[in-house]
């Protein structure tokens, strides 16, 4: 069996989708499976970086194709970057793929599954779509005009064709599973495998044993963290207003470690409000991620309500791995909201309810026993549902079924969707 992944980012890039793909590809290569990755020469947080065109990482053959490098600053430049990747990646993918191979297409750039599906048909390979989000609905809900009207209908028609053509479509949560099923996709072709965190690498760490708290001068203050990407799907005004409301309580500090389309916007807004209780740090290397996540006493996870079922924030798994409670700002009945409520590993707050967010923060600050219990519950959820070995076992089973049986995968979806799995 040969597996060819296609995604715009791969190691050493440390974006969330890159890390998931790197984990899975390396694990499969360790099983002595031939694994190739078609990706770009870019890094998510630095479009001017230029990675080697070809290298072998942990047994994985990485093929990096040329793309334009306008970055994420504006939609036109991003669209050009996407188009250049579609073209060069299609050529490389066609050269690598043979009859019977399995192509796994992620969703960066959007609709890369259409390109991958065309190559799969041409080469008589088998296609698996790994859906990190559902496009163009995400873009439409964010107000992108090309994703609406006739343009949106065309994009959905192309996307739906790639979903129906695939042997399997991997989704990250129940809401996303329902969204894909509503498109008329055969339920046997929809498999729920959540994104994960490495529970061996990321473990609970006390304040006193974390060198980053001293290095970042956090001291004994109560730290409300936000880690990773702050993109257009994430709401930040509620967090900003809560920081403003808590400015008279200097023992509370907000720590934002990461990047994304809205992080610079948040930094500017914080400066304009004169908020000194917010600390910004860049993306941390993977070897320091455990310390970075553990530097916070609680973590914020956000998602705009209208995007439930189209996106699942993957940062929750890392927060759970280090045993920290989650304050989820979004729909309490949504994917992460339901997990937080049912597992009692945090508190849910509606988007825009600043008073509720302030109460959640001060409640957890003033109740260390509650905080500890929620952290223990979070770690338990990680080990049962979101730990890397759990997810990799599901992926191995799925890919074997696709390679051996094609669409005859009865039972895959039922198992992966069971509660507690």
- Tell me the average pLDDT across 359-364: 98
What CATH code is assigned to 207-386? 3.40.50.2000
CB neighbour list of residue 21: distance below 8 Å, 6 or more residues apart: 5, 7, 9, 10, 37, 106
Say which residue the tokens 């929809």 belong to. 190
The string of pLDDT tens digits covering residues 51-68 is: 999 999 999 999 999 999
Q: What is the CATH topology of the domain spanning 2-196+387-411? A: Rossmann fold (3.40.50)
For the question of whether the overall pTM of this predicted structure is more than 0.85, the answer is yes
The string of pLDDT tens digits covering residues 383-403 is: 999 999 999 999 999 999 999
Task: Measure the CA–CA gap between 390 and 107, rounded to whole angstroms.
Answer: 22
Domain limits, CATH 3.40.50.2000, in the chain:
2-196+387-411, 207-386
CB neighbour list of residue 132: distance below 8 Å, 6 or more residues apart: 17, 106, 107, 108, 172, 195, 311, 314
The string of pLDDT tens digits covering residues 142-190 is: 999 889 999 999 999 999 999 999 999 999 999 999 999 999 999 999 9
Indicate the pLDDT class of residue 42, thresholds 50, 70 and 90.
Answer: very high
Task: Measure the CA–CA gap between 66 and 84, rounded to whole angstroms.
Answer: 8
CB burial of 282-317 (b: ≥16 within 10 Å; e: otherwise) equals ebbebeebbbbbbbbbbbbbbbbbebbbbbbbbbbb
């Amino acid at each position: 069996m040969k597996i060819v992944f296609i995604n715009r980012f791969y190691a050493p890039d440390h974006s969330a989708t890159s890390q998931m793909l790197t984990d899975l590809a390396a694990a499969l290569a360790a099983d002595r499976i031939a694994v190739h990755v078609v990706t770009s020469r870019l890094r998510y947080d630095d479009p001017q970086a230029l990675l080697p065109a070809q290298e072998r990482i942990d047994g994985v053959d990485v093929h990096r194709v040329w793309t334009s490098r306008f970055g994420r600053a504006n939609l036109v430049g991003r669209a050009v970057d996407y188009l250049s990747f579609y073209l060069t990646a299609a050529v490389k993918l066609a050269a690598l793929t043979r009859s019977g191979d399995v192509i796994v297409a992620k969703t960066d750039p959007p609709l890369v599954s259409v390109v991958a599906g065309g190559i799969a048909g041409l080469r008589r390979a088998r296609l698996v779509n790994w859906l990190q989000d559902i496009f163009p609905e995400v873009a439409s809900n964010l107000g992108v005009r090309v994703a609406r009207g006739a343009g949106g209908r065309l994009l959905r028609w192309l996307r739906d064709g790639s979903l129906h053509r695939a042997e399997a479509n991997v989704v990250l949560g129940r809401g996303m599973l329902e969204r894909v099923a509503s498109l008329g996709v055969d339920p046997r072709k929809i498999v729920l495998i959540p994104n994960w965190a490495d529970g061996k690498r990321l473990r609970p760490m006390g304040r006193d044993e974390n060198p980053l708290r001293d290095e970042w001068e956090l001291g004994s203050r109560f730290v409300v963290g936000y880690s990773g990407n702050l993109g257009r799907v994430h709401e930040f005004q509620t967090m900003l207003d809560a920081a403003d409301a808590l400015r008279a309580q200097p023992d509370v500090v907000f720590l934002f470690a990461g990047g994304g389309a809205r992080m610079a916007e948040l930094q500017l807004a914080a400066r304009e409000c004169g908020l000194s209780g917010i600390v910004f740090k860049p993306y941390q290397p993977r070897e320091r991620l455990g310390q970075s996540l553990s530097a916070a006493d609680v973590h914020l996870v956000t998602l705009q309500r209208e995007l439930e079922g189209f996106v699942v924030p993957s940062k929750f798994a890392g927060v759970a791995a280090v045993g920290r409670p989650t304050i989820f700002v979004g729909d309490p009945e949504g994917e992460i909201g339901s997990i937080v409520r049912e597992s009692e590993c945090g508190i849910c707050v509606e988007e825009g309810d600043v008073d509720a967010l302030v109460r959640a923060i001060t409640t957890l600050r003033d109740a260390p026993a509650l905080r500890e219990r929620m952290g223990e519950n979070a770690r338990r959820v990680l080990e049962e549902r979101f730990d890397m070995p759990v997810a990799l076992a599901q992926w191995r089973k799925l890919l074997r079924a696709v390679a051996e049986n094609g669409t005859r995968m009865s039972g895959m979806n039922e198992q992966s969707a069971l509660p507690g799995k």
